Amino acid sequence: MGFVDQNISDERKRALEQSFASLRPQGGARLEFFEADLNALPATIETIARRKLALVVGSSGFTFANAVRISELIVKHRLPAIADGRQFAEGGVLLTYSTDFVELYKRGADNVARILRGAKPGDLPIEHASRYAFVINQKTAKTLGIRIPQSMLVLADSVIS
């Protein structure tokens, strides 16, 4: 399985490798890291496709800012991929599971309104994301010849057909 992002630190690699190793079945896939800047993305995605790897798109400012381009390349090379953010699923990536940013923005706007009404910022509670969105691109699954189990489709917050 390939993991693509820009400037992956050794610490992040170790953490991801440990997480992946604990999840992988005996004798299963291994995780490989591919660092790419915007210019190297086409060649990197092509290499991953040629090696017939599944792809995990890292979650970073780089991947978020380049979601459209990354999605286009994934679709072009017919890669099974997962990423962080609905924009990837809308762009053709197979699965996404990520923070519900719309909900976070609403909560942020509520805090701004409280401050404008006189609340002290230091008195507002610190909030963490509590809602996540699981999106399946069924159209991509069909293109890749992958059957998504009904049990997963039922769990999805959204299915793109």
pLDDT per residue over 10-55, tens digit each? 998 888 888 777 766 556 667 888 988 889 999 999 999 999 888 9
Average pLDDT over residues 109-122: 95
Buried (b) or exposed (e) across 34-60, using 16+ Cβ within 10 A?
A: bebeeeebeebbeebbeeebebbbbee
* 132-156 pLDDT per residue, tens: 899 999 999 999 999 999 999 999 9
Distance CA 27, CA 157 (A): 32
Full 3-state SS string of 50-87: HCCCCEEECCCHHHHHCHHHHHHHHHHCCCCEEECCHH
pLDDT for position 71:
94
pLDDT score of 27: 60
pTM above 0.85, yes or no: no
- Give me the half-sphere count of Cα atoms (radius 13 Å) on the Cβ side of residue 28: 10
pLDDT tens by residue, 84-103:
988 999 999 999 998 887 88
- In angstroms, rounded to a whole number, what is the distance separating the alpha carbons of residues 108 and 145? 41
In order of their start, the domains of the chain are: 2-98 (3.40.50.2300)
